[in-house]
Structure 1
Amino acid sequence: MNHLASNAGYGEAADELAVQYEGVTFEEVHREVLHLLPGEPGAVLDIGAGTGRDAAALAALGHRVVAAEPTAELRRIGQRLHADRDIRWVDDALPAPASLGAGGERFDLILLTAVWMHLAEEERPLAMDALAGLLAPTGRVFISLRHGPVPTGRRMFDVSADETVELARERGLDVLHRTERLDLHNRSGVRWSILAFQRSRVRPNSVMV
């Protein structure tokens, strides 16, 4: 069991990571699922928002964006880099976000970009519960899941796409998209699963008549 915090190592490397994160575009990172973005401006939640690259791009499209980032150093960089965008920054994280949705807010789109593999096995069901609870009735979730070597000082787990799909299905989230891709930064041995889910019209364990 890896007992490091889920965001271990990110504060110390915030400046270097900011260059990496901002060195690729929202469109490059999410190219496989761009066609699944909401067609009209809505409420968007970016969990593990980092420096706010994705949050800023979505705000520019007219969405009401909440950026949840637990690493203070990254949050400060994001607020500075994207000060011209209407983004509400919060200090919160999975598996049990304390402030997100507390006022009954539900989201049309939730992004988890390079986040899910930081959650331990016992945390992932709780996190999927939280995601399902934060989704609007027809809301969607985009998850990019990293596979490969773990950088020194970080906490990551070997999480399969199959497990993630099953956790989502059990909570009434249907798969809209599933692909694999190579790493945009060409890191040796690193690959990604790109997943998109939508709340099912038929809830789990419902009786079909």
Structure 2
Amino acid sequence: MHRDFLPLLPPPPARIADIGAGTGRDAAALAARGHTVLAVEPVPELRALARSLHPSPSIHWLSDALPGLPRLDGEAGRLDAILLSAVWMHLPEPSRPPAMRRLHDLLAPGGRLFLTLRHGSPPEDRQMYDIPAHETVALAAQHGLRPLQHAKGIDHLARDHVHWSTLTFEKDHP
């Protein structure tokens, strides 16, 4: 699913946060590669399902959400990578700058942020925004995150009206 990100992942064992971990697919894949994963998911039902699907001592489940991620306070400056897969598009515009600041603060120097953006008409029954990649790149730069990669891809659910951008950023060393 995230083959564009794989060559840019830090070597194991790294501390990686999967923000909006859902049913745990990505957290499990990262743990299987030898990483310690903080799987952050605000929906209790999804966390419970994920724990049952992916029982791993390398995955630590937390209830938290952007923009603040207050339960991750002890992780400031300690994460080697953060993954936001199909998450950023749920944040309204006023929440994006503080969320980006928080992601920057959680990353260690040289840490990487991996982010996917959904493009296309959002479903009527969900709060979702079609955020241009260039807007996210500019916001990340304002918060000290340097772009490393921007790739475009198809929708893996074969929806003709949906496509994706994958963005990778790196926090500069002091």
Q: TM-score, normalised by structure 1?
A: 0.80
The reply to whether residue 153 of structure 1 matches residue 125 of structure 2 is yes
Cα distance in 2 for partners of 1:104, 1:173 equals: 15
Matches of residues 169-188 of structure 1 in structure 2 within 5 Å? 169-188=141-160
2:71 partner SS:
coil
Cα distance in 2 for partners of 1:175, 1:201 equals: 14
Structure (1 or 2) with the greater strand fraction: 2
Report deviation, 1:62.
1.5
Question: Which residue, 136, 143, 147 being the options, matches 1:164?
Answer: 136
Query: Runs of 5+ in structure 1 lacking a partner?
Result: 1-28, 203-209
The answer for the alignment partner of 2:48 in structure 1 is 76
Cα distance in 2 for partners of 1:106, 1:154 equals: 33
The answer for the alignment partner of 2:66 in structure 1 is 94
1:101 partner SS:
helix
CA RMSD of aligned residues (A): 1.4
CA contact (8 A) 2:149 2:169 kept: yes
Query: Runs of 5+ in structure 2 lacking a partner?
Result: none
Q: Deviations over 1:98-153 (max 9, x none)?
A: 11133546210100000000000000001000100000111000001001121232
The answer for the alignment partner of 1:122 in structure 2 is 94
CA contact (8 A) 2:77 2:109 kept: no
CA contact (8 A) 2:75 2:106 kept: no
Cα distance in 2 for partners of 1:34, 1:140 equals: 12
Which aligned segments of 4 or more residues in structure 1 are displaced greater than 6 angstroms?
A: none
Give the letter aligned to residue 148 of structure 2.
Answer: L
Report deviation, 1:183.
0.3
Q: TM-score, normalised by structure 2?
A: 0.95
Give the letter aligned to residue 149 of structure 1.
Answer: S
Q: Deviations over 1:7-43 (max 9, x none)?
A: xxxxxxxxxxxxxxxxxxxxxx111121001123110
The answer for the alignment partner of 1:16 in structure 2 is none
Cα distance in 2 for partners of 1:50, 1:121 equals: 22
The structure whose Rg is larger is 1
Matches of residues 189-208 of structure 1 in structure 2 within 5 Å? 189-201=161-173
CA contact (8 A) 1:60 1:85 kept: no
The answer for the alignment partner of 1:56 in structure 2 is 28
Give the letter aligned to residue 63 of structure 2.
Answer: D
Report deviation, 1:85.
4.8
Question: Which residue, 79, 82, 85 being the options, matches 1:113?
Answer: 85
